[in-house]
Amino acid sequence: MKRMKGRVLDVNNVIAENVDVVLYESPPSSRIKSWQGSFELTYDVTIELSKSYKLILEDRRSGEILVSNIHASSETKSRSIGFTGSGPLQ
């Protein structure tokens, strides 16, 4: 698990910047490369379940993500957005 900052884009439009991303990647020795994770968004940012977005990480890697779940919290002013990488993270 890695924690880093990132940006989320819908087509070419940045919808969120400086988001805290939690990233899980398959080990380098794994034959199947997979990655997934989550990030927090405030309620004023529109994001849709089962839609593809682009994630750009602070280490300059990027990839397409598919939003797999959205968890709202009544205690905070943000939502936890779960995603699965679709394609390479490079």
Domain that holds residue 62: 2-85
Tokens of 26: 């398959």
Kindly report, residue by residue over 42-88, the tens digit of the pLDDT.
999 999 999 999 999 999 999 999 999 999 877 888 899 999 999 89
Q: Would 23 be classed as within a structural domain?
A: yes
Task: Give the count of domains, the chain.
Answer: 1
Q: Would 49 be classed as within a structural domain?
A: yes
Q: Would 35 be classed as within a structural domain?
A: yes
Q: Specify whether the CB–CB gap between 66 and 48 falls below 8 A.
A: no
Q: Specify whether the CB–CB gap between 35 and 26 falls below 8 A.
A: yes
Q: Would 42 be classed as within a structural domain?
A: yes
pTM, two decimals, is 0.91
Report whether pLDDT(1) > 80.
yes
The more confident residue out of 33 and 84 is 84
CA distance 41 to 44: 8
Q: Would 90 be classed as within a structural domain?
A: no
